[in-house]
Structure 1
Amino acid sequence: MEQLTQKQQAKLKRRMNILEKKFADDPTKADQEVLDEVKQIQLLLTQLNRVEELIAEDISVPRNTPITNNLTEEWYRAIFLEWLSTHTSALKNIKTSKSAIYTFALHFFVDNIVLNPKNAALKYEQLVDKLNRLNERDADLKKINFELADIRSILSFLNAMQFEVNTLPVEGSARQLTPGAFGQLRTEVNQNSDLGQAMQTYKKQRQGDLTKKQTRQTQHNMEW
């Protein structure tokens, strides 16, 4: 039991350290959601410190937990068994007895709800709503994805136009894009071409600069 408690405490403390480092330079940037998560982590750590005491108080309770065997419970058990038949790794080869299902459900709920700072403070109705929204496409996210696709198309068009302009003569009446040229525009970059390789080099450099920017000192400028 002590090892299990220490494991969960270490997990929560790692999350706390991440949040503390993220807002160490300017704590005012932490929004209410972050503050609530920190508060919940502190509460969970306090509860974990008391878990041995809670077990000691509960030691007199019989170890066997009776489960009512009626049609409703059998219906839920049948549905659960059907789910397990397509999620064979869930019980990790434990026999699908009633006690095994109860243990799985208890562990799953504690690990993912009770000990998750982002879920533990939710009211029951809020938790159900959160789970229901997992399969729904957020309207704002859908709009953002649509706009990103539009931006990509515009950038692709501009790059294609620039590529075509570079193939035109430097001077003279031939230096213009005619309607006939639009039907032959290339919309993708050949990764093996000089332009494609230059773009890959830039992307790697860009990623490296973004990583360095997170740890650089204010006097180390890397911008244009």
Structure 2
Amino acid sequence: MKDVTKIKTETIKNLARRKNYLLNQYQDITADVPEQVTAELQLIELMLTEANVNDDTYQKRPATINIRNTRDEEWYFQQMKHWIKSHPQATSGKLGRSFIYKFTLHFFVENIVLNSQNRDLGLSELENRISQLSKNNDSRQINAQNKNIEASLGFMMSMLYQLVGHMPESVDNKKIDYKLNPLTEIEIMTAGTDTDLNDNAEFNLAFQAFKEVRKRDKQQLKKLHQSKGKLYDD
């Protein structure tokens, strides 16, 4: 677990900065300050006051906390215990029930409660934000693939344009006459051209056939590299 003193010190600094920011934002306002801002300032003041738990408050709290155990609670606890066994550095190898509960509380406070980005989130919004974390890797992979596709498409378009510009129209007595590049703006606007929205366009039919062949080759490649020969859909 993290050093509590460092956590509290950093929290106090963040609260103080937030308090000063709000006070500076509304210092020249003579009308009513928004209730949300007033409530936040009051909460910040309370949290700053409670930064160091005084003896009176501490003595009034029980030395131990009893949690009624049920089958459902035991299931939750076992899941947490399995995770800690896989990541022993999280609790320095300690697997006691009270220590695991303490670690869970500390982790939630340090990474959820004290995270300023979660300040105004409701429970459902917070759950959604956490669930999105698991999708980050997939998003990065998709972005990388999209960049690769974009680069490949740009390369092919450039090469195709150069190729079409050198297509001979006729060869007569060893003299090669080149026709006007049909990919120029003037030619396309004047004569028109097939697009991918035309299902009967020859290039579209060829492209669809190419995708089917590529899909087949990709599946064969996956099967070759999978240790168990199991195929996964994209």
**Structure 2 length-normalised TM:** 0.46
Larger radius of gyration: 2
Greater RCO (CA < 8 Å, at least 6 residues apart): 1
TM-score after normalising by structure 1: 0.48
